[in-house]
Amino acid sequence: MPTPAKGPRLGGGAAHERLMLANLSAALFEHKRITTTVTKAKRLKPYAERLVTFAKRGDLASRRRVLGLISNKGIVHELFTDIAQAVENRNGGYTRITKIGNRKGDNAPMAVIELVLEPVSAKQAVVAEATQAAAKAAPVAEPVETEPVETEAAEAKYAGSKPATADNVAPEGFEVKGNEDSMKYHVPGSRWYDATVAEVWFDSAESAAAAGFVPAGGDAAQAVEAE
């Protein structure tokens, strides 16, 4: 069972309240402003604004959902065309409630609820227009090729070395793998050579040692594995 809304209902059962809100919304969309009690206006405000949100989406599913609540196709068409277009740049706050005093007879507090169809403030409109104009006028920056510079820097970093390759394939004449995180090098045939991803390639173990790298596992381990 659906949970009923908190607080007292507008009158009758839940189904009667839903019909009342749907009829009030239809009248609001048709006349753009209606006069009702303050209680009904406060309950109508989120209900009507939710329907306006559906109208701003503009898809078929949203239209069918609104048609399930408001059966008048003319009012729904006006909601999805005129009203949705008028509030296109407004992020919420589609209705406004103005209290107008009490009603004669039962002294019920009355209010006018109306759609806010005025355009967004002139200042915001000018800022948006200026932003769009600046985006159109801004020149497109041409891409700068930095790969050759980075390659030169990597090649010149250590004597007798080559930069890392994307496929981890040794450049010709540079088969010693260097790991800059651990500052260790691996010669071909060593225990961890195949599992190591080279961050720099050296032409010899001597070049790696001159660059400050140490043999993984020690000199003896590298020499034994390399033989």
Average pLDDT over every residue of 26-52: 94
Percentage with pLDDT > 90 across the chain = 40
Q: What is the pLDDT of residues 84-117, one digit of tens each?
A: 999 988 888 999 999 999 999 899 999 999 999 8
At residue 128, does pLDDT exceed 60? yes
Selected residue with higher pLDDT from 107 and 121: 107
For CA atoms 55, 68, 65, 97, give the dihedral sign.
positive
Six token digits for residue 204: 């010899």
- R_g of the chain computed on alpha carbons: 37
Helix (H, G, I), strand (E, B) or coil at 62: helix
In the predicted structure, residue 212 carries a pLDDT above the cut 90: no
Query: 97, exposed or middle or buried, with CB in 10 Å at 0-12, 13-18, 19+?
Result: middle
Confidence of residue 226 (pLDDT cuts 50, 70, 90): very low
Cβ contacts of 39 within 8 Å, gap of 6 or more: 10, 109
Q: What angle do CA 131, 137, 142 make, to 5 degrees?
A: 120
- For 148-171, letters b (16+ CB in 10 Å) and e give eeeeeeeeeebebbbbbeeeeeee
In this prediction, residue 6 carries a pLDDT of: 64
